[in-house]
Amino acid sequence: MEGNDAMLAKLQDNELVTRAQQGRHDAFEELVSRYAGRLYSMGRRMCGNDDDAKDMLQETFMAAFKGIDGFRAEAKFSVWLFQIAKHACMRMRRKSTFAPRETLSLEELVPNEEELKTLSVADWRRTPIDKLLNKELQGALDEAIQVLPPDHRMVLLLRDVEGFSAEETGQIVGASISAVKSRLHRARLFTRKHLHHFYQDQGSSHV
């Protein structure tokens, strides 16, 4: 059946959905292999632990499998799937004791002039991203994302990690485009602030 798998791998998401709707389990499995990694990564960041992420992943694909007949051809499969995942994440969160902060005030996030004076921009701005992204910075970034309020975290992950548009993100989280943009801006500001000390005095530490 190798030839069949290779053929499925060439199909667009919606072509696979059509086959899955006709009862072709192999077409659904191809969709699973396309999205499982991305959903699991998002689940780990949204749920805060591996076990809940695993449950969220299973719940999402089982719901997608059972609901695939209701998928409309004019929709985008990835948006539909992430909508299901978002609901699964919310159910997980209710069960979880993990409680990040719930609000982000802009005043807190915008730096004052004193702080901006201390940034030694010229030094790190020429540093390629892979050099800059050492273990310490990666750890700080993970932490920043983890402590974001869930609504903001979800928007940041969908927009900047998953690459969904503002409109698609709004469809997934059930919010207006302007709400998505506002959350995204705050989430980015928060993350920037959290990484602030990496932007100061990078000097020789990243060579």
Partner 1 sequence: MSESGMKNISSDPTCEEIFTVLSEYIDGELSKELCEAIEAHNGNCPPCQAFVETYTKTIELVRTQPAEPLPSAVKDELSAALKRCQDALDQTR
Question: H or E stretch including 57?
Answer: helix 50-67
123-141: burial string, b at 16+ Cβ within 10 Å, e else: ebeeeeeeeeeeeeeeebe
CA atoms within 13 A on the CB side of 7: 7
User: Would you say 184 and 106 are in contact if contact means Cβ atoms under 8 Å apart?
Assistant: no
Q: Which one, of 156, 147, 145, 150, lies nearest residue 180 by Cα? A: 156
Interface characters, 61-100, with partner 1 (x: CB under 8 A): xx--xx----------------------------------
5, 121, 139, 203: residue in contact with partner 1 (rule CB under 8 A): 121
Q: How far is CA 110 from CA 1, 107, 113, 116, in A?
A: 57, 6, 10, 10
141, 146, 149, 206: residue in contact with partner 1 (rule CB under 8 A): 141
7, 9, 147, 161: residue in contact with partner 1 (rule CB under 8 A): 161
Tell me which amino acid residue 107 is.
E
Nearer to partner 1, 145 or 172 (CB): 145
19, 119, 151, 206: residue in contact with partner 1 (rule CB under 8 A): 119
Q: Does 149 bind partner 1 (CB under 8 A)?
A: no
Q: Does 182 bind partner 1 (CB under 8 A)?
A: yes
Supply 61's token pair: 């694909």
CB of 155 to partner 1, least distance (A): 11
Residues that bind partner 1 (CB under 8 A): 23, 25, 28-29, 32, 36-38, 40-41, 50, 54, 57-58, 61-62, 65-66, 110-111, 113, 116-117, 119, 121, 124-125, 129-130, 132-133, 137, 141, 145, 156, 160-161, 166, 176-178, 181-182, 184-185, 188-189, 191-192, 195-196, 199
